[in-house]
A and B are shown apart, each in its own frame.
Chain A
Amino acid sequence: MVAVMEGIIFDIQYYSIYDGPGIRTCVYFKGCPLKCSWCHNPESQNPDYEIAYSINRCKQCRQCIDHCDNNAISLLKNRIQRDIKRCRMCGKCVDCCPENALERIGKCISSDMIAEIVSRDCAFYKDSGGGVTISGGEPTAQVEFLKDTLKEIKNRDIHTAIETCGWFCREIIHDLSKVTDLFLFDIKHMNREKHKQGTGVYPDTILENFKEIVSEYGNGKIIPRIPLIPGFNTYSESINEIMAFLSEAGYSGIIHLMPYNRISLSKYGKLGKSDQFKDMGIQNEDELNMIIKKFEDNGFSVLCNR
C-alpha cells in the first residue's frame, strides 16, 4: 500500500472567482521561500504551524495560561504573550480559549482528503469550467505533497491550476506539468535589485522557469499574474520591461493584474507581526486604467481583479 502523503495547508476557499477559469476552490499551502514586503497572506510564509491571537476577542480569562503544560504563556500589559522557545505548538491553549481569541494556523491534511473535499464542488466546476487552484504560500515549497495532491485531484477529473511565485527548481516542471493544467505564474519585477529588495530573491530562476514553461508547453499552459504594487512596479518603465520580457519569452494572450489592497493588515496583527506590515498605499484608479490600456495596446488581453 502506498503511504498517504500529508502536508500543511492554512486555508481552503470556495467560490474563488479570481484564481483561474470558472468557479474554483483554492487550497492554500503553507510556507514560502519569498518574503514580499506587500505579502497578502503573512500566515502563509512560515512553513510550520503558528498560533494567531486576536487581542480584541481576548477577555484575559487566563485559561490558556492554566492549560499550558510548558509555561509558555503569560499575561503582560493586558495581552497574552507566548514564549516561542517554550511553546511546543500542542494547541491546548487554542482548544481551551472560550472566546476563540487564539487560532491555530496550519492544518495537517492528506492529499486524498483534499481531493475528497474539493471534489464536492464538482457540479459548480463542471458548469462554469472551473476547478481547483493550489495556492499558498508557495505550493512548490511542499513539492512532493503538491504533486500527489494534484494527481489525486486530476484522478477525479477536475481541472487543476497552481498559483506560483515561480521560485522553484527547474527539474520539477516536467513532473508538475503532467498533473497541472494551468500555471498562474507571478511576474513581479524585471530589475534584479528591485526584485531582491521587494521579495528577498533575485528574479533569475523565476524568469527562466517562466520561459521554460512557455517554450515547452505553450501559451495555453500558463498565465502571467502581475501584482501591482504602488511605487514598486507600477511605473511606466517597469511595465514596459515586463511586457518586453513576456514578448521575449514568446508569451502572448491573457494576463492577470492584481492591484494591491490593504486588507491583510489585521492578519499581521494577529500573528504578532504588525511591525512587518508595510503599507504600500492605494492604487490610483487612473494609473491602473493606463496600465491596463498599455497592456491591451500591446496585444495582451487583461483580466483585472478589482
Chain B
Amino acid sequence: MENQHCYSKRIENLRFRYLNSISHISIERARYFTEKWLETENKGFSTQERVALCMKNVLAHLSPYVDPDERIAGNWTEYFLGIPIDIERGLFNDIFAIELKKSTLFFSQIKSNLKFLLYFIRNQGIIKFIHNIRISLKAGAAAPVLGMKTMDKRKVNPFKIDAKDKKILLKKILPYWKDRSVCAAILKNLTLENAFAGDIKIFLDSMPTSSSSGIVLLSPGSAIGLWQGHIVLDSSTVLEKGILAMIAEVKKELSNEKLQKQEREFLHSLDIAYEGILTYTQKLSSTIEEKIKNETDEEKKNNYIKMLKALNRVPAYPARTLYEAIQSYWIIKTVVELSIPFNAHGLGRLDQIFYPYYKHDSEQNSINRVEARELFEELLLKSMSHNIRPYSNYLSDFIHRFDGSEGVTLGGLTRHGEDATNDLTYIILEAAYYSKTVINVVVRIHQKSPEKLYELISHLYYNKISNISVMNDEICMKSLMNYGHTEEDARDYSAISCADFCTAGKAGAQGASSLLLCNLLDTTLRNGNSSTLIGNISHVGLETGEPESFHDFQSFLAAFKLQATYALKLAAKAAIIRDNIYAGQLPAPFISAFTPQTLKTKKDVTCGGACYNTEYILLMNSIANLVDSLYVIKNLVYEKQCFSLSELIKAVDNNFTGYDDIYKQIKNLEGKWGNGDPVIDQFAREISSFLFDEISTFKNTRNGRFVPGIVSMTTHTIAGRLGTATPDGRKAAKPYAAGCSPYNVEKCGPTGVLRSVAALDMQYIQNCSVNIRIHPSAIGESPVARKKWISLLRTYFKLGGIQLQPTVASSDELRCAQQEPEKYRDLIVKVGGYSVYFTELGKELQDEIISRTEYASL
C-alpha cells in the first residue's frame, strides 16, 4: 500500500468526534413535515405531491450543520451527530413517546407488565407460568424489559434531545401522528386482514417492550419489516447532467398534454423533489456564507469558501472535478436519505461513479492520490454518521450505534463484461482502511479480478480491517438474471446494505419479510403451537400432527414443509398489505427522482415504477440450527431410534437438564452442517432449495417476485434470547447461528465451512451473509501464505459461494476489548451482515462473536 504513514489528522479527528459524541435527536424534519402536512390537507394535492411538498418544506427550513473539520458540506440535521425523525412513517414513534421521559417510561412499564402477567396467568394458569419463568431464569434468559433509564441516560447508545424540542415532540407532533403514521396504518390493516391476529397478537401486545423495532412477528415462524427501502440510487446521471437538466426533462414530459392525471401528479412530485434539492443547497450555502462572515481563522475561512464555490456549481450543474462530484453526490444522498431515513441507502459503485472525475483531475495534476483518498475517507465517515438509529432501550443492548449497514461497492465487472477495477478501487479500499469506518465495503470478485486486488484485500484483512466483505460476481449475476435482470444490468450490480444487492437506480421499494426457521421447526414439533422462554402461544401454525403420529422422518419433514408454506403465505400476504399502504400513503418521490425508469413509467417506485420490483423474504434464525436439528431427528430419532420424538421434545422443554444422555448423543453425533460432509451438505441444499422455490412462487403488489435471502442482522441474538433449546443441542436463550454461518462446527477448518456453505444453491438468493472469524495467522505475513488465503477465497467462489465476511480478530483480543474498551475503540467486527465497532456492542452480541469458531494456522 502506498503512502503507508500518510494519514490525515483531520480525518482522525472527525472519526474521534463521531465515536465520542452523543447523538442528538433533531425534531426539525418532523416539525416542518407536519407543518406542511396540515397546511396541504384537503387542498386537492395527490399524496405524492403532498409528500414531496412536505419534504421540500423541511429542506427549506432546516438548519444544516456545517463543521470546520469537513470539506464536504451538508448534514441531515442541525447537529454534528444527529438523527432526524421519520414521523410520518413512524418506525420509532412509540419509542420516543415512551422512552424519552421517566414518567411515561414508568407508566408504560407498569401497564405492560400487568398486561404481561394477566395474559400468562389467564392463558396458562399460575403454575405453568411460574414453571416457565423458572426454566427461563435457569437458562439465563432475561425477560424483555425496558429498564428505567430514559434514552439520554442509558449506558448503551444514548440519545439526547433538547428540552424544548422534547416538549414539542411529545405534546404536539407525536400525538398527531399516533394513528396516522404508516406504521400505525400497517399494524391496523394487518390486524383487520387477519395477518396479525389471534394469540400471537395478544402475546406480542402483552410483551413489556415497545414494538417499535420495525419488525412485527406475524406468527412464531414469520415476521415482517415495517420499513420499505433498501435501494441504491442512480447517482451518475446527476453528476453528469446536473439537477437543472433533470428538471428540464421532467418539465418536457409535463408539457405532454396526453398525460393521465396520475402521471401528471407523479411528474409534478418529481419536479418538487428536484426543486427541494436546490432549496437545500441554497440553505446550506447561506449557512456557509454566515460562517465565512464570522470566521477569523484564514484557513477555515478558505475551506468554507471552497465549499461555497462547489455548491454554487453542484448539484445544479454537471460536476467538473472529483471534489464537485463528491459534493454533488453527497447532497443527493443526504437529501434522499433525509426524505426516507434509516432505510439502507447503499452508496453504490463508488470507484465507477467517480472514476471519470478522478481521471480528469489526475490528468490535469489538480489532485494527488492522498488528497483523493482523504475525500473518500470523509465521505465514508459522513455516511457512517447517517447510519445510526434510535432503537429502544431493550434493543440497544443488542444493537450498536453506528451500523455499517450501507454498502460501498468496489471492483467487479463493467456493463460490457470487462474487469472494472481501476485506480479508485484501490484508493477507496485504502480509504476504508485509514478512515476505520464501519461502512460495509463490498469488493466484487470475478474470474478476471486482478491479483493486486486480492493482495490488497488480504493485506487489509491481515491488518484486521473487518469492514470489508467479498461477493462473487458469477453467482450474484446469475441470481439477478434468474429474477429477470438483463445481463448488462446484472453486471452492474451494487451491494445495498449488508449482503443484498441490486442494480443502482433500477430497483425500488424493496421491503423484507422473514421466516424464522427454528420457530417453524418448533411449531412442527408441537402440532401448531409454539413455545418461547416467556410462555407458550397456541394455534399459531397449522395442526400438522402430534409427535407420535410421525412414523418416519419423511412424514415429519412433510409436516415441517407444510408449516413453512403456511408461514410463507402469511409473510407474503403481510408484505402485500404493507406495500399497498406505502403506495397509497407514503410514496417516495425523492427516490423515484433518482430511478430513471420512473420517467418512462410515470409511476412512483412504491407503485412499481422501477425496472425491477423484487423484494425479500429472508431465512433467519437459522438455516444452520434448522438443518442440524432435522439431521438429529432423522438420525437419532428415526434411523438409530436412540430416543423418541416426544422424549426429544421433553429434553428440549427442559433445556436438556435431566436429559444428559440425549444431550450427549446429540452433541456427539458427527457430520452436522458446516464440516464439509457431502451427505449433510446435500441435505442442507435440498431443504434450502425447497424454501427458495416456495418463496419465489409468490408475487408482490408491484408484480415483482419475492426473492430469498439468508441473513440475520442481529435477530439471531435477540430472538435467541427468547428461544427454547433446539434439537441440535443449542441451549435455551443462546443465540442462533448468524446469517448463513454454520453453528455446530467441528474441526474441519475453514475449508469445511466454506464447502458446506457453498453447497447451497446460491444462484437463487440475493442476500446472504457468511461469517468466518479468523486469526491473522490464517492469512499470514509472507507472500507465500497470502497466496494460500487468496486461493481459499477464490476456490470458495468457484465452488459456488456467494459472499464472505471475515472478522479478523483473535478471541484474546476481543476479550481484552471487553475489559478495556477505551483502548479498542477502532476494533471493527462483522455481525449479521454489516460491520460495527466491537466496543459499541452490548455484552450479549460481544459474547456471540467471541463464541464463533476461530480459525488460525500454526
Contacts and interface: CB of A to CB of B under 8 A. Distances in A.
A128 B751 contact: no
B788 A23 contact: yes
A109 to B, nearest CB: 13
A100 B667 CA distance: 10
B306 interface: no
A17 interface: yes
Chain B interface extent, by class: 20 to 34
Contacts of B789: 17
B795 A123 contact: yes
B755 interface: yes
A16 B855 CA distance: 11
A14 B667 CA distance: 21
A95 B667 CA distance: 11
Interface in B323-359: none
Interface in A103-156: 120-121, 123-124, 126-128, 130
Given A15-B855, A17-B857, A98 B664 contact: yes
A16 B668 CA distance: 25
A261 B755 CA distance: 31
Given A22-B788, A127-B795, A15 B751 contact: yes
A18 B749 CA distance: 14
Contacts of B781: 306
Nearest to A126: B795
Chain A interface extent, by class: 20 to 34
A176 to B, nearest CB: 26
Contact of B791 (A11, A128, A304): A128
B780 interface: yes
Contacts of A14: 747-752
A156 B147 CA distance: 62
A305 B789 CA distance: 15
A15 B676 contact: no
A304 B795 CA distance: 25
Contacts of A261: 858
A298 interface: no
Interface in B772-786: 778, 780-782, 784-785
Nearest to B794: A127
A303 B781 CA distance: 11
Contacts of B752: 14, 120
Q: Most chain-A Cβ atoms within 10 A of its Cβ — which of B667, B668, B678, B787? A: B787
A47 B559 CA distance: 50
A12 B751 CA distance: 13
A121 B755 CA distance: 8
Contacts of A15: 749-751, 778, 792, 855, 857
Nearest to B791: A128
A71 interface: no
B799 interface: yes
A261 B856 CA distance: 15
A263 B812 CA distance: 14
Given A23-B751, A98-B660, A18 B785 contact: yes
A124 B660 contact: no
Contact of A18 (B791, B794, B857): B857
Interface string B797-809: 0110000000000
Contact of B784 (A95, A100, A303, A306): A303
Interface string A70-91: 0000000000000000000000
Contacts of B778: 15, 17
A130 B755 contact: no
B782 A303 contact: yes
B266 to A, nearest CB: 51
A205 interface: no
A98 B660 CA distance: 7
B788 A128 contact: yes
Interface in B653-675: 660, 663-664, 667-668
A13 interface: yes
A120 B676 contact: yes
Nearest to B656: A98
Given A18-B857, A98-B660, A121 B794 contact: no
A124 B660 CA distance: 39
Q: Most chain-A Cβ atoms within 10 A of its Cβ — which of B747, B749, B750, B789? A: B749
A128 B858 CA distance: 18
A121 B664 contact: no
A17 B750 contact: no
Nearest to A40: B858
A95 B661 CA distance: 10
A11 B748 CA distance: 10
Interface in B220-277: none
A306 B782 CA distance: 9
A128 B678 contact: no
Contacts of B780: 17
Interface in A10-49: 11-18, 22-23, 25
A11 B858 CA distance: 14
B791 A16 contact: no
Contacts of B857: 15-18
A79 B781 CA distance: 42
A75 to B, nearest CB: 19
Contacts of B788: 17, 22-23, 128, 130
B792 A23 contact: yes
Nearest to B681: A120
Given A15-B778, A18-B858, A120-B676, A128 B749 contact: no
B441 to A, nearest CB: 25
Interface in A285-306: 303-304, 306
A18 B782 CA distance: 11
B749 A13 contact: yes
A23 B780 CA distance: 13
B858 A124 contact: no
Q: Most chain-B Cβ atoms within 10 A of its Cβ — which of A11, A123, A261? A: A123
B853 to A, nearest CB: 12
Nearest to A263: B858
A17 B751 contact: no
Q: Most chain-B Cβ atoms within 10 A of its Cβ — which of A18, A25, A130, A304? A: A18
Q: Most chain-B Cβ atoms within 10 A of its Cβ — which of A121, A303, A304? A: A121
Contacts of A96: 664
Contact of A124 (B663, B668, B792): B792
A303 B780 CA distance: 12
Contacts of A98: 660, 663-664
Given A13-B749, A17-B780, A95-B664, A120 B678 contact: yes
A127 B748 contact: no
A123 B755 CA distance: 9
A17 B749 CA distance: 12
Interface string A200-243: 00000000000000000000000000000000000000000000
Q: Most chain-A Cβ atoms within 10 A of its Cβ — which of B664, B678, B782, B788? A: B788
5 contacts: A11-B747, A15-B857, A17-B788, A123-B799, A128-B792
Given A18-B857, A96-B664, 15 more contacts: A13-B747, A14-B750, A15-B855, A17-B778, A18-B785, A23-B788, A95-B668, A98-B664, A124-B751, A127-B794, A127-B795, A127-B798, A128-B791, A128-B795, A263-B858
- Shortest beta-carbon contacts, A-B, top 7: A14-B749, A128-B791, A15-B749, A127-B795, A17-B788, A127-B791, A14-B751
